[in-house]
Amino acid sequence: MSYFLEFHPEAFAELECVTGDYEARQPNLGVRFRRIVEATCGAIVENPLLWRERPGGYRRVNLPGFPYHIAFLVDEDRILIVAVSHSGRKPDYWASRRP
């Protein structure tokens, strides 16, 4: 099955903000973060059901080397990234982004 990947606008804004913050801390760290996110999104598209469904119907992938995770929802042909979230802050703050 083929899936269409979509970012919730607020999740995309989080991605941009975190990438910029890492790049400001150290040159190329933001680039490295972005590459890991892109590779992880590719893995999600390839096999979105690999990660267990959590209470509330979402799935979550931890980003290797960074204290962030991607929270996403899967429906028939679409994957919606609802958050690029720091793992140690406000769990489920993004819950209102669910369709």
Number of domains present in the structure of the chain? 1
Predicted pLDDT of residue 12: 98
CATH of the domain at 9: 3.30.2310.20
Contact predicate 10/97, CB 8 Å: yes
| CA–CA separation, 60 and 25 (whole Å) | 26
Residue 93: inside a domain: no
What is the extent of the structural domain holding 18? 4-87
Using 50, 70 and 90 to split pLDDT, how confident is the model at 68?
Answer: very high
What residues are paired with 79 via a beta bridge? 5, 74
Residue 95: inside a domain: no
- pLDDT, tens digit, for every residue of 32-59? 999 999 999 999 999 999 999 999 899 9
pLDDT at 88 over 80: yes
Give me the count of residues in the chain.
99
Residue 53: inside a domain: yes
Using 50, 70 and 90 to split pLDDT, how confident is the model at 8?
Answer: very high
Q: pLDDT averaged over the chain? A: 95
Rg of the chain in Å (alpha carbons): 13
